[in-house]
Amino acid sequence: MTEDKQKEQSRKTDAAPPRKRDGALVERLREGDQRAFLKLFREWHPSMVRVALNYVRGRSVAEEVAQETWLHFMQQLGRFGGRSSLKTWTFRILVNRAINRGKREHRATTLVKDALASRAPTGHPDSNHQRGGGALAGSTWASGGNTLRSPEQTLLDAETRARLEEAIRSLPEKQKLVLTLRDVQGWRSVDVCELLEISAENQRVILHRARVQVRDELRAYIRRD
| Residue 145: burial class (beta carbons within 10 Å; 0-12, 13-18, 19+) | exposed
Predicted pLDDT of residue 83: 86
In degrees, to the nearest 5, what angle opens at C-alpha 201 toward C-alphas 196 and 205? 85
Predicted pLDDT of residue 146: 43
What's the gap between Cα 182 and its chain centre?
11
Q: What are the per-10-residue average pLDDT scores of the chain (225 residues)?
A: 53 50 88 94 94 88 95 93 90 92 64 45 43 35 42 60 84 90 90 91 96 90 73
Predicted pLDDT of residue 106: 59
HEC sequence for 174-191: HHHHHHHHHHHCCCCHHH
Task: Name the residue ranges covered by the structural domains of the chain.
Answer: 3-103, 146-225
Predicted pLDDT of residue 166: 86
For 3-103, the fitting CATH number among 1.10.357.10, 1.10.1740.10, 3.40.630.30, 3.10.450.50 is: 1.10.1740.10
Domain 146-225 coded CATH 1.10.10.10: yes
